[in-house]
């Protein structure tokens, strides 16, 4: 396959940045999207040019690092996948592909396609945990009875990998799908319920402080989330906050 790539290049956080065109020949349809970029980068290195900086780690859809806005969509044209799980067979020979970093005021660009997602870490630190005594006399996990339904729903919420696609695709740059998932995974379990009120208050406050926008229920996040986190988690977060406030 022969492709034209239009890629966002930005030297550092202060640089203005711009779209730069690249031509790649010899792309195999079986390559993953990241492998295609690896080939382009090798080419750039051989030519003594600066390679394109992009985030990646596990390359199997579990770490959430690979953040790219491809042809106008978070993680590219397919649903329920990350960029590392996207393959070149999803494109046609001769295609032009736009590759941009996540866009949100709370996710500033560090370089090229890499953005700073530490806002998510700070939200997590504000309450995305439970306090347990680990001094040696911990309870057996099976000592606390949990309904199958609650355990499954909590696990579904816990599959969020913190990739930020929900923010990137949202017209309001809202982080409510992410925060909703994190609030839900604890609120559904007895171990998490003890600190539930403080957790939701603190996490929402931190989310607002970071400058994420306000959800208007367009549902774009749910479509683009690689892990199938549903809007139900946002509704649950809203319920939790209302409960915590009265």
Partner 1 sequence: MSGFLKSSIGRKVAMALSAFFLMFFLLMHVSINLLSVFSADAFNTASHFMGTNWLVQFIMQPILIFGVVFHFVMGFILEFRNKKSNGIAYVKNNGAANSSWMSRNMIYSGLVILAFILLHFIDFWFPEINHKYIEVLPEDPTRYFGELQHKFTPLWRVAAYVVSFILLGLHLGHGFTSAFQSMGVTAGRKKTLKTIGKVYSIIIPLAFIFIALYHHFNH
CB of 76 to partner 1, least distance (A): 11
C-alpha–C-alpha distance, residues 221 and 173, integer Å: 10
Tell me which stretch binds ligand SF4 (CB under 6 A): 155-163, 198-206, 212-220, 234-242.
Answer: 155-163
The DSSP code for 59 is: S
Does 215 bind ligand SF4 (CB under 6 A)? Our answer is no
- Taking residue 118's Cβ as centre, other Cβ atoms within 10 Å add up to 13
Among 178, 184, 187, 196, binds ligand SF4 (CB under 6 A): 178
* Residues that contact ligand SF4, how many (by CB under 6 A): 15
Q: Which of residues 47-86 bind ligand FES (CB under 6 A)?
A: 56-59, 61-66, 82-84
Binding flag, residue 216, ligand HEM (CB under 6 A): yes
Q: How many other C-beta atoms lie within 10 A of the C-beta of residue 52?
A: 21
Q: Which residues within the stretch 97-116 sit at the binding site for ligand SF4 (CB under 6 A)? A: none
Q: Any contact of residue 232 with partner 1 (CB under 8 A)?
A: yes
Instruction: Tell me how far apart the 2 most distant CA atoms of the chain are, in Å.
Output: 63
Pattern 171-210, ligand HEM, x by CB under 6 A: ----------------------------------------
Our finding on whether 11 is near partner 1 (CB under 8 A) is no
Residue 121: name the closest of 57, 81, 164, 68 by CA: 164
For residues 206 and 126, the answer to whether their CB atoms sit within 8 Å is: yes
Residue 41 or 172 having the CB closest to partner 1: 172
Stretch that binds partner 1, among 81-89, 142-150, 184-192, 209-217 (CB under 8 A): 209-217
Give, rounded to a whole angstrom, the gap between the first and last alpha carbons of the chain: 60
Minimal distance, residue 34 CB to ligand FES, in Å: 7
Give the closest residue to 34 by CA, choosing from 99, 94, 83. Answer: 83
Among 217, 228, 235, 242, binds ligand HEM (CB under 6 A): 217
Burial class (CB in 10 A: 0-12, 13-18, 19+), 3: buried
Could you tell which of partner 1, ligand SF4, ligand FES, none binds residue 59, using a CB distance below 5 to 8 A set by kind?
Answer: ligand FES
- The secondary structure element, H or E, covering residue 192 is helix 190-193
Q: Which of 224, 226, 227, 229 binds partner 1 (CB under 8 A)?
A: 224
226 binds ligand SF4 (CB under 6 A): yes
Residue for token pair 């040696």: 136
String of b and e for 119-148 (b: at least 16 CB within 10 Å)? bbeebbebbbeeeeeeeeeeeeeeeeeeee
Residues that bind ligand HEM (CB under 6 A): 216-217
């Amino acid at each position: 396959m022969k492709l034209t790539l239009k890629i966002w290049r930005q030297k550092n956080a202060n640089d203005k940045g711009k779209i730069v065109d690249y031509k790649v020949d010899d792309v195999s349809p079986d390559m993953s999207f990241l492998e295609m970029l690896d080939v382009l980068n090798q080419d750039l290195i051989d030519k003594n040019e600066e390679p394109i900086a992009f985030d990646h780690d596990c390359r199997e859809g579990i770490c959430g690092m690979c953040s790219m806005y491809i042809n106008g969509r978070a993680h590219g044209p397919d649903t329920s996948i990350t960029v590392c799980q996207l393959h070149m067979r999803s494109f046609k020979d001769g295609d032009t592909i736009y590759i941009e970093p996540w866009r949100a005021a709370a996710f500033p660009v560090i370089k090229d396609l890499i953005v700073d997602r530490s806002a998510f870490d700070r939200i997590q630190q504000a309450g995305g945990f439970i306090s347990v005594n680990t001094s040696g006399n911990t309870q057996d996990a099976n000592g606390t009875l949990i309904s199958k339904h609650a355990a499954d729903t909590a696990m579904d919420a816990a599959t969020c990998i913190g990739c930020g696609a929900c923010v990137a695709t949202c017209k309001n740059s809202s982080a409510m799908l992410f925060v909703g998932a994190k609030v839900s995974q604890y609120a559904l379990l007895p171990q998490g319920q003890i600190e539930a009120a403080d957790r939701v208050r603190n996490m929402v406050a931190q989310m607002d402080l970071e400058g994420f926008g306000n959800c208007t229920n367009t549902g774009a996040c749910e479509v683009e989330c690689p892990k199938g986190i549903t809007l139900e988690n946002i509704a649950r977060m809203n319920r939790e906050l209302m409960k915590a406030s009265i």
